[in-house]
Structure formats: structure tokens, C-alpha cells
């Protein structure tokens, strides 16, 4: 069951749902206006979020920012009659979806062609079991690298960061609250023959993300992470990216050195992350 949670005085978020791939949606509440972060994976998702805001006497959003083009972050946009903001790259990627049909047959064909992935196809079918009222609404405002929004008493900085998950990813830094909405930018590339991380992209991304002074970090399909939790994840990615470069993608060398540094057997998640870096090295070399 989804819940609307208050993290700080200025920031509320709705918890994710893994089965239908509903990501966290956020609301930054300023003195003058409310900014919604991501549109949800369906009109139902977007409407439910707005209803929960009303129940908690939170002013309706007057702006929405889209963190990247993936379906679970944009399909709810058609239900929101407010200006939307996205990077130039996000709008370009969304435009590619305009001709698509969303019936089962069309989705399955795109999976076979490698355009869509099985996980997303199944999640779409679960989120839209009967009527596929899917309409791609393009953002009304675009920006190139960085944009600052004053909501009245709270400032949001939108920064393009890219990364393996998708090159158009942006983050939202809620300055006065010290919250960094990461969305999916630190996740692996899923739209490839094998899930993968690229060492160079990960190191560049971490440098950008770690330049912001934050106390909470929002991962769209997990939870608000504490600074300690974020630093643990970032340390793992930075270490494995560096070892991938050092050992030139050799899984045995990476695993043995990291196991030696950790002084223990590696977890299933750590082994999976190593494999993702090896996949990325092999795909790019």
C-alpha cells in the first residue's frame, strides 16, 4: 500500500510500488508554489498522489519536473494540467514514444526487437490491466544543463547528470532542506543486452552528485536514504569502478581484490554489481 510521508517541513513523498514499478513521487512545498517531482507511471498514479496531497492540506502543485524519459516517470503527465519541466534530452527521448501503440501485441513486439525490456513490459500490463489510456504529454519547458527554481522560501536546483541508467537523467537538489532527489540516476543501464555499469560514467556521476551538500538522498525505487546509507552505496560503486579500470574488466581480479579489501565473503548484491561493471567493460571494449 502506498503512503504519503513527510520527510521534512518542505518535502513530502509517496512510497513506491515494486509490482507495477511505481516510483517515488515528491512534492516540494514553497511559500508561493508547490513543485511535483516526476509524474508517475499512469494517470491513476498521478491522481492518487494529488488526492493524498489534498488530504494532508498540501497546496496543489503548480509545476512538475520530469527526471528522465522512462515510462514509469512520465505516463502520469497527461493527467496533470500544469507546466512541466524536463531536460532537452528528456523531451527528445519522449518524442520517440509518440508513435507507439501500447496494446499487448505492440509491447511484446518491441520486447522481441530489443526496444523494450521484459520487466517494463510486464509492469505496464499490470498497471494497465484493462484500459491503456496512455497519452505521451511532452514537457512545456526544457533546459540544457542547470535550472534554478524559487518556490518561495525554498530553492530547487535541477542539474543534468546523465549516467548509465539513461543519459538524460537529472537530479533535483532541494537546497534549504538538504535533500537530493536522485531518481534513477545511480541505477544500472537496463536497456542493453546485459545490465551494466560503465566505470568512467559512474565516476563522473559520483563526482557530480557528491558535490551537493545533502542529508537525505531519494532513490526512486527504494526510499529516502540517509547520508551514511548513500555514502555506503557511493563507496561501493566508486571502488568497483576503479577496480574495473585497474583489472580491465577481469571479474576474478576485481572480485579477489575487493574481497581482500572487505575482509569477508561478498554479498549477493556486491557480486551482482561487479558483474554489471564487467558487462559494461565488455560492451565498451
Paired residues of 146 in beta bridges: 159
C-alpha cell at 148: 534554478
Confidence at residue 284, expressed as pLDDT on a 0 to 100 scale: 94
Residue 251 belongs to some domain of the structure: no
Q: What 3-state DSSP class applies to 155?
A: strand
Residue 267: inside a domain: no
Contacts of 194 (CB under 8 A, 6+ apart): 279, 283
The answer to whether the beta carbons of residues 29 and 41 sit under 8 Å apart is no
C-alpha dist (Å) from residue 273 to 24, 75, 153, 183, 279: 23, 29, 40, 19, 10
109 domain-assigned: yes
Asked if the structure places residue 210 within a domain, the reply is yes
State residue 133's pLDDT score: 81
Residue 56 lies in a domain: yes
CB within 8 Å of 196: residues ≥ 6 apart: 164, 188, 189, 276, 277, 279, 280, 283
Question: In the prediction, which pLDDT does 127 show?
Answer: 96
Q: What is the pLDDT of residue 117?
A: 94
CATH number of the domain where residue 200 is located: 3.60.15.10
In this prediction, residue 281 carries a pLDDT of 98
pLDDT of amino acid 1? 78
Whole-structure pTM value: 0.96
Which domain covers residue 97, as residue numbers?
A: 4-227
179 occurs within a structural domain: yes
Whether residue 254 is contained in a domain is answered as no
Q: Work out the number of other CB atoms within 10 angstroms of the CB of residue 238.
A: 17
In the chain, the number of structural domains is 1
Residues of the chain with pLDDT under 70: none
The rounded distance, in Å, linking the Cα atoms of 114 and 103 is: 17
Amino acid at each position: 500500500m502506498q503512503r504519503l510521508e513527510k520527510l521534512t517541513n518542505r518535502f513530502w513523498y509517496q512510497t513506491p510500488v515494486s509490482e507495477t514499478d511505481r516510483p517515488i513521487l515528491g512534492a516540494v512545498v514553497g511559500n508561493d508554489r508547490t513543485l511535483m517531482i516526476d509524474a508517475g507511471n499512469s494517470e491513476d498514479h498521478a491522481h492518487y498522489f494529488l488526492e493524498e496531497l489534498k488530504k494532508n492540506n498540501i497546496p496543489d502543485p503548480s509545476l512538475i519536473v520530469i527526471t528522465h524519459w522512462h515510462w514509469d516517470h512520465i505516463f502520469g503527465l497527461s493527467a496533470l494540467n500544469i507546466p512541466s519541466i524536463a531536460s532537452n534530452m528528456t523531451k527528445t527521448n519522449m518524442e520517440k514514444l509518440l508513435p507507439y501503440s501500447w496494446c499487448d501485441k505492440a509491447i511484446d513486439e518491441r520486447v522481441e526487437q530489443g526496444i523494450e525490456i521484459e520487466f517494463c513490459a510486464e509492469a505496464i500490463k499490470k498497471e494497465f490491466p484493462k484500459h491503456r489510456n496512455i497519452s505521451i504529454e511532452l514537457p512545456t519547458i526544457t533546459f540544457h544543463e542547470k535550472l534554478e527554481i524559487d518556490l518561495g522560501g525554498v530553492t530547487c536546483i535541477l542539474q543534468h547528470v546523465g549516467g548509465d541508467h539513461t543519459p538524460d537523467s537529472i537530479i533535483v537538489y532541494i537546497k534549504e532542506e538538504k535533500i537530493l532527489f536522485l531518481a534513477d540516476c545511480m541505477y544500472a543501464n537496463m536497456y542493453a543486452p546485459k545490465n551494466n555499469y560503465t566505470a568512467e560514467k559512474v565516476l563522473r556521476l559520483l563526482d557530480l552528485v557528491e558535490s551537493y551538500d545533502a542529508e537525505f538522498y531519494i532513490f526512486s525505487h527504494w526510499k529516502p536514504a540517509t547520508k551514511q546509507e548513500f555514502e555506503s552505496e557511493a563507496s561501493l560503486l566508486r571502488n568497483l569502478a576503479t577496480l574495473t579500470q585497474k583489472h580491465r574488466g577481469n571479474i576474478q581480479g576485481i572480485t579477489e581484490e575487493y574481497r581482500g579489501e572487505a575482509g569477508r565473503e561478498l554479498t549477493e548484491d556486491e557480486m551482482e554489481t561487479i558483474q554489471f561493471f564487467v558487462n559494461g567493460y565488455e560492451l565498451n571494449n
